[in-house]
Amino acid sequence: NAGVTQTPKFRILKIGQSMTLQCTQDMNHNYMYWYRQDPGMGLKLIYYSVGAGITDKGEVPNGYNVSRSTTEDFPLRLELAAPSQTSVYFCASSYSMSLAGGDEQYFGPGTRLTVT
Amino acid sequence: EDQVTQSPEALRLQEGESSSLNCSYTVSGLRGLFWYRQDPGKGPEFLFTLYSAGEEKEKERLKATLTKKESFLHITAPKPEDSATYLCAVQARYGGATNKLIFGTGTLLAVQP
């Protein structure tokens, strides 16, 4: 199992450009998440998905969009990049969201994005 | 407001010097507390889940405990390879049937040989 994979590892964007961060998991997890991590701050949830075709906003969704057409893939789209979107982005997945276990999230290696 | 606070922010230990990291939380309706390890330039790596006060989990030199207001990650006789940032996260209800993870800012642990 490769687990959660993300591409690209690094990217530099100019203000106003757009890009898609790719995320794929091979664990057959229904739940997938996108976070951003900024220095000195905890990870913040951008968007999440509870299954193919179902997505919803997290704490900091502005400036981002997502789609989930398959169980495996959960791409994050940045439209009109701004310097405030400079961050490290992590994709994660989990098997469930219950108290019976299986709700631990597994993270990808991250994408470091700089917007200048 | 749901909140997670980790202390200390940074901790430097000598190899073999045991210590504890703290994670205190305020959340309405705790649905689990998670510990992660994060190495520089990598994604968080899952360590433990704790669901109820009094619960304990162990893995090698690490032991996590949970009370109603905080969790401790005890590190016994640490080695340099234990150096990393340790993240704590609590899971709370986030509308409907979904949960959310609220992360602390982490404790940066450095273990010197």
Residue-level pLDDT, tens digit, chain B, 113 residues: 889 999 999 999 999 999 999 999 998 878 899 999 999 999 999 999 999 999 999 999 999 999 999 999 999 999 999 999 999 999 887 665 567 889 999 999 999 99
Residues B49 and B66 sit within 8 Å (Cβ to Cβ):
no
- The answer, for A54 touching chain B at a CB cutoff of 8 Å, is no
Cα distances from B17 to residues A90, B56, B107, in angstroms, run 33, 21, 16
Q: Name the 3-class secondary structure at B80.
A: helix
Quick one: pLDDT at residue B28? 80
**Chain B residues with beta carbon closer than 8 angstroms to that of A110:** 41-43
Q: Does A37 have pLDDT greater than 60?
A: yes
CA distance A18 to chain B (A): 24
- The answer, for A95 touching chain B at a CB cutoff of 8 Å, is no
Q: How far apart are CA A111 and CA A20, in angstroms?
A: 11
Quick one: pLDDT at residue B35? 98
Mutation test of the interface with chain B: which of A4, A33, A96, A105, choosing the one with the most B Cβ atoms within 10 A? A105
Cα-only R_g, chain A? 14
Q: Name the 3-class secondary structure at A52.
A: coil
Q: What is the pLDDT of residues A67-90, one digit of tens each?
A: 999 999 999 999 999 999 999 999
Mutation test of the interface with chain A: which of B49, B85, B101, choosing the one with the most A Cβ atoms within 10 A? B101
**Chain A residues with beta carbon closer than 8 angstroms to that of B41:** 109-110
Q: How many CA atoms are closer than 13 Å to the CA of B49, on its beta-carbon side?
A: 18
